[in-house]
Amino acid sequence: MENIVVAKVRSPKNPLFSEQNRNKWGNFFRDKAKDLLKWGFAKNSSREILILYDRCTSIVRIYAMKEVLSKLSTEIRLTKGFNIGECVSFQRKGGNGYK
């Protein structure tokens, strides 16, 4: 994985995964998608909540994180990086770290 990321940094216009690596890493992320979502959004999903606030209507919606995670798609789509479902995108951060 380190070599893949370094190659991407050297040539940002290229996709993260080459044609040779797409199946290997696609399968890896398909197997780990649920764990990645849980790790990214909730340390302990049974005790955490998601709060959405609509400024226009002043309506607050509260959802149990466990329920939110169960509704998220775990479908993997390889793009220049990769996506999990329609909500989560993994890609190289742009820029070189300097202002």
Tokens representing 46 are 């049974």
* pLDDT by position in tens, the chain (length 99): 677 666 666 766 777 777 777 788 888 888 989 888 888 888 777 788 999 999 999 999 999 989 998 998 989 887 777 888 888 887 666 655 555
The residue ranges of every structural domain in the chain are 2-90
Angle at 23 between CA 20 and CA 26, to 5 degrees: 125
Task: Specify the pTM.
Answer: 0.62
Residue 76, Ramachandran bin (φ over 0: left; ψ between -120 and 50: alpha; else beta): beta
Pseudo-torsion of CA 9, 88, 44, 5, nearest 10°? -10
- CB within 8 A of 66, min separation 6: which ones? 42, 45, 46
